[in-house]
Amino acid sequence: MEPLIVLKDISRRYTVGSEVIHALRSVSTTIYKNEYVALMGSSGSGKSTLMNILGCLDTPSGGEYTLRGIRVSEMSDNQLAEIRNKEIGFVFQTFNLLPRSTALENVALPLVYAGIGKEDRDQRALKSLQDVGLGDRVKHRPNELSGGQRQRVAVARALVNSPAIILADEPTGNLDSKTSAEIMLLFEEIHRKGNTIIVVTHEEDIARHAHRIIRLRDGLIESDLPNDRITRASLQKELA
C-alpha cells in the first residue's frame, strides 16, 4: 500500500527568551490511506505540534515530511494553501464557526476560498450538512445550535471539499458523553467511506475508537501499535 504521509526524523524547536523548548525531537512514522489513527499524549507531549505539522499549519525545524509522495518543504505558499483547503479537513475542539453566519454559510466557507460559484457551493454545503444529519438546520446560526450540532457543522465544513485527510484536534473536548458518542459514530461513518482520519486526544476512551494508536511523550513516539480493542460507537436512537 502506498503511504499517504511519511514523517522522517521530524523535530520542532521553539525559543522562548533564552530557553530552547523541544516540542518534537525525532518523530518518524508512516500513515496510509484510509487509516484511522489516534495521536495520544498528555499536555506537553508534542501531539498538538505534530498535528499542526501534519496539517501544514507549522513547519518542522528538522526532518522531512512527505505528503502524497511530495516533500512539503518544497511546496510553495500557494501549494500549501491549496493543500490546507482541499486535501485536509480540520475539526477543532472549539468548533471555530463564524457566529453571524448560518450553518450553510459556515460549511460553504472553504468553497469560497476555492473559488467555487455560489450555486455550486450552496448545493455542496447542503449535501455535506445532510450527510452529518443537519439538513434541517441549514439556516441556523451557531448560537441556535447545541454543542453537538455545532461540532457536526464543523465536521460538515471539514468534509465539504472531499479531502483525503480529516485532522481532528480534541473533537469531543467540549462535549458531554452522549454527544461525544454521536461525534465518534460520525467519524466511524466517515472512515468507512474512505477518508483517512487522525484524531488528536488525551482521552483514552476516545483514542480507543481508532484502529491504531500513536502515543507521544516528551516530543518522542513512545509507542505506535494497532488497537486490538477497538471501541465501536453506538447510540440508542437516531442522531437528533
For the domain that residue 142 is a member of, what is the CATH number?
3.40.50.300
Q: Which domain holds residue 121?
A: 34-57+77-226
Q: Residue 205's pLDDT is what?
A: 93
In a domain, 69, yes or no: no
| pLDDT at residue 234, as a whole number | 66
Q: Is residue 145 a part of any domain in this protein?
A: yes
Query: Measured between alpha carbons, how far is 86 from 83 in angstroms, rounded to an integer?
Result: 5
Q: Which pLDDT score is estimated for 239? A: 41
The whole-number pLDDT of residue 240 equals: 39
Alpha-carbon gap, residue 46 to 218, rounded angstroms = 7
Domain count, the chain: 1
Judge whether 172 lies within some domain.
yes
Does residue 175 sit within a domain?
yes
Evaluate whether residue 6 is within a structural domain.
Answer: no
Give me the residues of the chain with pLDDT under 70, please: 234-240
Say if CB 218 and CB 46 are below 8 A apart: yes
Residue 5 within a domain? no
User: Would residue 119 count as lying in a domain?
Assistant: yes
Judge whether 168 lies within some domain: yes
